[in-house]
């Protein structure tokens, strides 16, 4: 058999050379056996790959698997797109949904990049309205007063304060006013929460975080059950803007997905223990974790979160000087501006991830100088707690 012929014809599920794992296909283009076959593939009559920017067996396998996870337990199909980064996924979705004159409704405590991206759309005539998306009355007012509001964009749990928005309520309101709901599910992952089940139209991911899980690559994904929206809106933008993810990153994500459920269970149970430890510590003024009984959004959390996840933040007594000395004393936990790795990671939102927000907006969203964000890893929980304990004392 010609090597080229089976590269073109066999989807990765059929395993080239009967490989047990999805192979990493490093190819910028794919070979047609005949001109007729080439035309059929271009026409979409026959399945096959054409050119790396349009798709690749490894990349498509990752997209399909993420879509299947987000769609788990639901009737009907979901469609996935694997992107070069979380931001490539988000920018493709927003470029597809929002044209000049449209309005995006979103929250103040968004991932910094997403917030900056939405703000940058002003130059293209897309307006942003910012509100607490948990405030149903306010939402209803905003939606009813703004007929050109066509996109609601939400992160739940939010970063870094872990506030949680009721997705069913938000989806119902959004749809009642003819808009679409986009959910960034990076924090919860499909193991912890399935936004499509609660009515979301589009789910986006930074797979850089939990889905890869090991801090080895940057990538993202888009999932929707709306075939037309995927095929006619997102796919053309994705291809034309060049936002396709590469095979190596897709392969790393496929590897990570094999242990995602196991990791999320451990991230969650470890975070639960760490949150309980911090709650009782005299130097800690407050702990934000979806798994704590006193969480202000606990009824929402009970309805939509399967696992509480590995993200938490806490308010240290003593503000910035104490936050700095705490972080410098850590020896086991790592100071780094990412999340979702197997290792426990620490970040100081007000000087790092949320530094570009003006101080007033920061404070309004609970991001004080004493706030510290932890991405709890899957290590032995006693190792994490003893490091936190010695750094707090
Ligand atoms: C990291 C992150 C992003 C951006 O993803 P990249 O892969 O860095 O482009 C978007 N949303 C959330 C919630 C994130 O944590």
Domain boundary pick from 257, 291, 313: 257
Q: Which atom of ligand 1 is nearest to the CA of 338?
A: 1
Same domain membership, residue 362 and residue 247: no
Q: Three-state SS for 318?
A: coil
The pLDDT of residue 272 is above 50: yes
Our answer to whether residue 209 is catalytic in this structure is: yes
Mutate to test the pocket of ligand 1, among 62, 87, 157, 182 (most ligand atoms within 8 A of CB): 87
Q: Is 251 near ligand 1, meaning CB less than 6 Å away?
A: no
> Is residue 5 pLDDT above 90, yes or no?
no
Report the pLDDT averaged over residues 362-376: 92
| Same domain, residue pair 235 and 110 | yes
Q: Residue 11: pLDDT band by 50, 70, 90 thresholds?
A: low
- What value does the mean pLDDT of the chain take? 94
Q: How far apart are the C-alpha atoms of 391 and 393, rounded to whole Å? A: 6
Could you tell me if residue 152 is inside a domain? Answer: yes
Residue 20: which pLDDT band, with cuts at 50, 70 and 90?
Answer: confident
In this structure, the answer to whether residues 266 and 237 fall within a common structural domain is no
Q: How far apart are CA 175 and CA 389, in angstroms?
A: 47
Burial 375-388 (b: 16+ CB within 10 A, else e): bbbbbebeebbebb
Question: Model confidence over 311-335: pLDDT tens digits?
Answer: 999 999 999 999 999 999 999 999 9
Q: How far apart are CA 46 and CA 39, in angstroms?
A: 9
| Structure confidence at residue 19 (pLDDT) | 86
Structure tokens at 87: 């931001």
Which strands make up the sheet holding 311-316, listed edge to edge?
284-288, 311-316, 371-375, 345-347, 334-335
Distance, CA of 81 to CA of 346 (rounded, Å): 30
* Residue 3 within a domain: no
220 in contact with ligand 1, CB cutoff 6 A: yes
Q: Distance from CA of residue 158 to its chain's centroid?
A: 11
Residues 250 and 278 in one domain: no
Number of domains in the chain: 2
On whether residue 211 sits in a domain, the answer given is yes
| Local structure of 198: helix, strand or coil | helix
Lowest mean pLDDT among 8-12, 39-43, 92-96, 262-266: 8-12
pLDDT per residue as tens digits for the range 108-128: 989 989 999 999 999 999 999
Q: Give pLDDT, residue 8.
A: 41
Residue where a domain stops, chosen among 211, 230, 257: 257
CA dist 380 → 244, 258, 303 (Å): 37, 21, 29
List, in sequence order, every residue forming a beta bridge with 79; answer none if it has no partner.
224
Q: Which two tokens stand for residue 276?
A: 């309980």
**pLDDT interval class at 18 (50, 70, 90):** confident
Nearest CA to ligand 1 atom 1: 206
- Token pair 């309101």 is found at 173
Check whether residue 370 and residue 352 sit in a common domain: yes
Let me know whether 218 and 341 are in one domain.
no
pLDDT of residue 17: 67
Q: What is the mean predicted confidence (pLDDT) over 360-370?
A: 88
- CA–CA gap between residue 94 and residue 120 (Å, rounded): 11
- 293 in the same domain as 220: no
Mean pLDDT (whole number) for 135-156: 97
Task: Give the confidence band of 107 by pLDDT, cuts at 50, 70, 90.
Answer: very high
Q: Is residue 18 part of a domain?
A: no
Q: How confident is the model at residue 141 (pLDDT cuts 50, 70, 90)?
A: very high
Q: Based on the domain organization, do 118 and 237 belong to the same domain?
A: yes
CB 154 within 8 A of CB 93: no
User: Ligand 1 within 6 A of 184 CB?
Assistant: yes
Query: Model's pTM, two decimal places?
Result: 0.94
Note whether residue 29 is domain-resident.
no
208 and 250 within one domain = yes
Q: Is the peptide bond before 28 cis (omega within 30 degrees of 0)?
A: no
Average pLDDT over residues 245-251: 97
Active site residue 184: yes
Q: Rounded CA gap, 255 and 20, in Å?
A: 12
Confidence of residue 364 (pLDDT cuts 50, 70, 90): confident
pLDDT of residue 180: 98
Catalytic annotation present for 138: no
296 alpha carbon – ligand 1 mean position (Å):
25
CATH classification at residue 322: 3.90.1150.10
Q: Are strands 202-206 and 220-224 parallel, antiparallel or unpaired?
A: antiparallel
Whether the per-residue pLDDT at 14 is higher than 90: the answer is no
Q: Find out whether 164 and 198 touch, Cβ atoms under 8 Å.
A: no
- Residue 106 CA to ligand 1 center (angstroms) comes to 16
- The residue contributing the CA closest to ligand 1 atom 7 is 86
Distance CA 160, CA 275 (A): 14
Tell me which residue has tokens 């589009």.
Answer: 202
Look at the block and give the residue holding tokens 């449209």: 102
pLDDT score for 91: 98
Residues 347 and 208 in one domain: no
9, 16, 53, 303: which one is catalytic? 53
Does residue 141 carry a catalytic annotation?
Answer: no
pLDDT at 6: 42
**Measured in angstroms, how far is the CA atom of residue 370 from the centroid of ligand 1?**
23
**Torsion 160-162-165-167 (CA) sign:** positive
Instruction: Say if 28 falls within a structural domain.
Output: no
Quote the ligand 1 centre to 187 CA distance (angstroms).
9
Residue 8 lies in a domain: no
DSSP β-bridge partners for residue 129? 105
CATH code of the domain in which 60 resides: 3.40.640.10
Residue 220 belongs to what domain range? 35-257
Helices vs. strands in the chain: H and E counts, helices first = 16, 12
Check if 353 has its Cβ closer than 6 Å to any atom of ligand 1: no
Is the pLDDT assigned to residue 13 strictly greater than 70?
A: no
CB atoms within 10 A of CB 29: 12
Decide if 367 contacts 355 (C-beta within 8 A). Answer: no
Helix (H) or strand (E) holding 220: strand 220-224
* Residues 72 and 204 grouped into a single domain: yes
Percent of the chain with pLDDT over 90: 89
Within-domain flag for 228: yes
What residues have CB less than 8 Å from 384, skipping those under 6 apart?
270, 274, 332, 333, 344, 376, 377
Q: What is the mean pLDDT of residues 285-299?
A: 96
Q: Which atom of ligand 1 is nearest to the CA of 207?
A: 7
Query: Average pLDDT, stretch 169-177?
Result: 98
Among 210, 236, 257, the domain boundary falls at 257
Per-residue pLDDT tens over the stretch 306-317:
999 999 999 999
Distance CA 386, CA 209 (A): 25
- Tell me, yes or no, whether 116 and 230 share the same domain: yes
Question: 170 or 44: whose pLDDT is higher?
Answer: 170
- Check residue 366 and give its pLDDT: 87
Mean predicted confidence (pLDDT) in 119-142:
96
Q: Pick the residue whose CA is nearest to atom 4 on ligand 1.
A: 86
């Amino acid at each position: 058999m010609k090597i080229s012929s089976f590269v073109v014809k066999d989807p990765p599920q059929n395993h080239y050379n009967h490989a047990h794992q999805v192979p990493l296909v490093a190819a910028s283009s794919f070979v047609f056996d005949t001109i007729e076959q080439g035309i059929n593939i271009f026409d979409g009559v026959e399945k096959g790959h054409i050119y790396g920017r349009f798709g690749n067996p490894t990349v498509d396998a990752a997209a399909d698997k993420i879509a299947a996870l987000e769609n788990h337990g639901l009737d009907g199909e979901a469609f996935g797109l694997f992107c070069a980064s979380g931001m490539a996924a988000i920018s493709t979705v927003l470029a597809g949904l929002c044209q000049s004159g449209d309005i995006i409704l979103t929250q103040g405590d968004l991932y910094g990049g997403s917030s900056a991206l939405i703000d940058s759309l002003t130059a293209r005539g897309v307006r942003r309205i910012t509100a607490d998306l948990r405030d149903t009355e306010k939402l209803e007012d905003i939606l009813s007063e703004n007929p050109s509001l066509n996109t609601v964009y939400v992160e739940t749990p939010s970063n870094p304060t872990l506030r949680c928005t009721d997705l069913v309520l938000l989806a119902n309101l959004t749809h009642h006013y003819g808009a679409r709901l986009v959910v960034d599910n990076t924090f919860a992952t499909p193991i912890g929460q399935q936004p499509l089940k609660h009515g979301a139209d589009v789910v986006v991911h930074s797979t850089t975080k939990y889905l890869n899980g090991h801090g080895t690559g940057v990538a993202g994904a888009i999932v929707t059950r709306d075939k037309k929206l995927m095929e006619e809106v997102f796919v053309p933008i994705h291809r034309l803007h060049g936002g396709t993810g590469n095979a190596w990153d897709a392969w790393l994500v496929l590897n990570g997905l094999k242990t995602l459920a196991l990791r999320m269970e451990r991230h969650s149970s470890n975070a639960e223990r760490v949150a309980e430890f911090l709650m009782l510590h005299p130097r800690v003024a407050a702990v934000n974790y979806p798994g704590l009984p006193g969480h202000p959004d606990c009824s929402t959390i009970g309805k939509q979160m399967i696992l509480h996840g590995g993200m938490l933040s806490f308010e240290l007594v003593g503000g910035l000087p104490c936050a700095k000395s705490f972080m410098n004393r850590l020896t086991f936990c790592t100071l780094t501006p990412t999340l979702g790795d197997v290792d426990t990671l620490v970040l100081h939102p007000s000087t790092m991830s949320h530094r570009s927000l003006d101080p007033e907006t920061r404070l309004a969203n609970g991001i004080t100088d004493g706030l510290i964000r932890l991405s709890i890893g899957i290590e032995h929980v006693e190792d994490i707690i003893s490091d936190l304990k010695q750094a707090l004392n």
